[in-house]
Structure 1
Amino acid sequence: MGGKYRITGNKYPRMRRARPRGKLVVLVVASVTVLGVGGWGTLQLIDVFTGGGGKASAAGTGKDCVPKTKAEASPSPSAKALPEPRTITVNVLNATTRSGLAKKTADELKKRGFKIGDVGNASKEYDKKVKGAGVLLGPDSALDTSLPVLGTQLPGAERRTEAVRKGTAVDLVIGDAFKGLARQADADRALTRMAEPEPAPSSKKNC
């Protein structure tokens, strides 16, 4: 070249087009966004398959969602303290024509922890008039206390109360269908279920 602008030397500058920087920035931002969304989705899948969803739910409510243990669960409002067999006095009365039933049954109840009162024949009101396995008889106060405990020993017995009855002792009147007391293991399980009733269902939603 000549004139005012002259190039000297044996190296010539290369002329390049200016790259559009705006498009490059957009591509970089889009790539970062895609990678971020993909990573977040992967974490969500990991939470689902590893049980981490509970934490996410708890974070959403602002409270830790911890299941209650049986001891912390609310007890049933109908649960009452039941007396132990050793505090219950039982009169064992035979209303059948079979001899020896009262004594045999009283001895078995004593082995199971009950206190034994009178043992003998039933009164005229019940003698030879009890067709079922038996009748459990006691004062009104025994309806939800002593009678249910004694009832675990003879599940098929009818339960009755007398308003004018004196004392706290209860009667076991043996009937015609009596074949023996319940197996001790079964009676013990029934006592345990009554002493430890299932907790009342909570109104709160489960985690």
Structure 2
Amino acid sequence: MYHKEFFVFDGDKPMKAIIRNYTESDFSSLIEIQRECFPLPFPPDLLWNTEQLSNHITHFLDGALCIEIEGTLAGSMTGLLIDLENDDRDHTWAEITDNGYIRTHNPKGNTLYVVDISVRPPYRKLGIGKWLMLSMYDVVIQHGLTRLLGGGRMPGYHKKAEEMSPQAYLEAVIKGKLKDPVITFLLRCGRTPVRVAANYLDDVESCHYGALMEWRNPFKLL
């Protein structure tokens, strides 16, 4: 079981934080967090349901993390293990994650694949999304995996789609010429881009593209 206690700061005020594995008693709060984090036009059928959450804790409990701030559930992150050597192989979020049900989880996989990360909007200024990501890096190291991999949304891309390709948009974000709510956050968490994936997710804001981004286990040779 994963359990980490520390403090986050709201300005100069320290607030107690706990990152732990989520359990069945957290399901209703996790579903509400998803509703807050992904309002319309994000497809409602992509939000968590109880069957998916049950599968998360059954198939890969180590990859089912949540964070409490002063006793209130403020966010979560979920992953599964896959065996993926060729990053050129096209895949969608739905294919890799089994539409979030993670029956595709492979206990002998070499890669921790991010299914989701969600932080309640009022808590985002506390930096807890980055804490969740760092904690999932702990899981990568604990299991001796090669890396963490996942497809990041590019929600700012629809504003630039008529001006540039998705790859050019990603490169502009990497160079600091543009800022994207998700991709910039992932860069700040230590993730590095692998490539752009077309038709990755049913996401109008991203024009259905995703940016595959990884974090390599520093204790594993390339």
Q: TM-score normalised to the size of structure 2?
A: 0.19
Q: Which has the larger radius of gyration?
A: 1
Q: Which of structures 1 and 2 has the larger relative contact order (alpha carbons within 8 angstroms, sep 6+)?
A: 1
Give TM-score, length-normalised by structure 1: 0.19
